[in-house]
Amino acid sequence: MIRDAELEARALAVQSRAYAPYSKFNVGCAVRMSGQVFEGVNVENASYPVCVCAERNAIAAAVLAGAHTLEAVAVCTSATPPSSPCGACRQVLAEFAPDPTVVTITAINPDGEHRSWTLAELLPASFSGRELPK
């Protein structure tokens, strides 16, 4: 798979800005959508269910700017091996991926480790708006 150096660098750069006082699990994310790059970090809350992941915050930033077509994702955690997006984030990413077989998700960490998948590999047979009644 082709790695996106710009996305990886930007995900790494924003990781330290995450708000993770409870888990101490800082996550940075950069997404390429409609040809532009958007960043996000995880934002925790004492009421755990209202925490928001870095991937969903990056998607929200893209949507706010008018971008709706997901092309690639880089996620940075300090885990070894680097962590993939959670299930909820995978579903949100799928919402904006016209073809999940070509959207690359790369997980990196500050030590230089990386893993890559297509979105289709991470979320096979995903549910989408195509299944909803017209």
CA distances from 128 to 8, 90, 91, 96 (A): 27, 12, 8, 10
Catalytically annotated residue among 8, 39, 44, 55: 55
Look up 8 and say whether it is catalytic.
Answer: no
Q: Which residues are catalytic?
A: 55
